[in-house]
Structure 1
């Protein structure tokens, strides 16, 4: 599998389009024809860069995870307190959702996990593992500093927070009036403030 950092400009355009298509329709909701049409190239050109759809989607998920981890580092650099970090984290989901109700790439792929090729499933697992590890650390440090009151383990709070944000996007897209990921995050944070 290619690493996203090794992509040519043409391959990066393919990945950009595939990312949006995944956010809108999932793994099984788009084809190389869809990508070719939107990029303005012929389908064999996509196969030149990504022999299989699994290769393409694995790179999309890999790059998405990398970008998300960069955002997490940025949050750490801007915010010292756990509650502020959690608010900024929820804002990442809000920013994605604000773009035509797009869903998190790995959240969308996670919904299809049982039918995904192993290399794609592995990249999706990396995304969730990285997020849960980061959130667990934030909750643990927030409790240790006295800023957050936890009713259970930091790991359980991390799981709850991530699931609530991903779920807010799905429920909102389902047509049910929703508060959106940012407001859901704020509601949860307010319940934990010490």
Structure 2
């Protein structure tokens, strides 16, 4: 199976198209024909780069997770206070949603997980584990320094925040709300700030 670091320029364009389609219609909502039309190539060219849709889906999630992890490292390196780190984290979701109501690629795939091959499900689990662990560490730090309050274990608060962000994107899309996840996250944060 390919790894996202091995992609040619043409393969990268295919992965870009697949990621956008996953964010709009999910894994089960697009075909190689859709990819070919989006990229402006023939369907056999898509198969040349990715023999199976499973391989393409796994590469999309690998790369998405890697970029998200890089964003978390940037937040750690540039933002010091836990509440500000959580706000910067939420901005990652807000920015995705503001791109024509796109959803988190792994959120979409998580909703489809029962119908996905294990190769993709395991990559999606990895995305959520990385995010939950990072959020847990931020919440723990904020509770320790008194900048956050939590009457539940940090891991529970972290998963609740992740669930609110993912769910708020879905609800925002369903309601056709321009604000999407912002309003719900603002409400949650108002209870967490010490």
- Work out whether 1:100 is the aligned partner of 2:103: no
Which runs of no fewer than 5 residues in structure 1 stay unpaired?
none
C-alpha root-mean-square deviation of aligned residues, in Å?
A: 1.1
How many residue pairs align between the two structures?
194
Which residue of 2 is the match for residue 190 of structure 1?
Answer: 190
Aligned-residue offset at 1:151? 1.1
Aligned-residue offset at 1:179? 4.5
SS in 2 for 1:150: coil
Aligned-residue offset at 1:77? 1.1
**How far apart, in 1, do the equivalents of 2:177 and 2:64 lie?**
28
TM-score (normalised: structure 1): 0.97
Aligned-residue offset at 1:178? 7.2
2:96–2:103 Cα contact (<8 Å) kept: yes
2:139–2:148 Cα contact (<8 Å) kept: yes
TM-score (normalised: structure 2): 0.97
Aligned-residue offset at 1:67? 0.3
Which residue of 2 is the match for residue 40 of structure 1?
Answer: 40
1:86–1:185 Cα contact (<8 Å) kept: no
Runs of 4+ with deviation above 3 angstroms? 176-179
Residue correspondence of structure 1 range 7-22 to structure 2 within 5 A: 7-22=7-22
Which runs of no fewer than 5 residues in structure 2 stay unpaired?
none
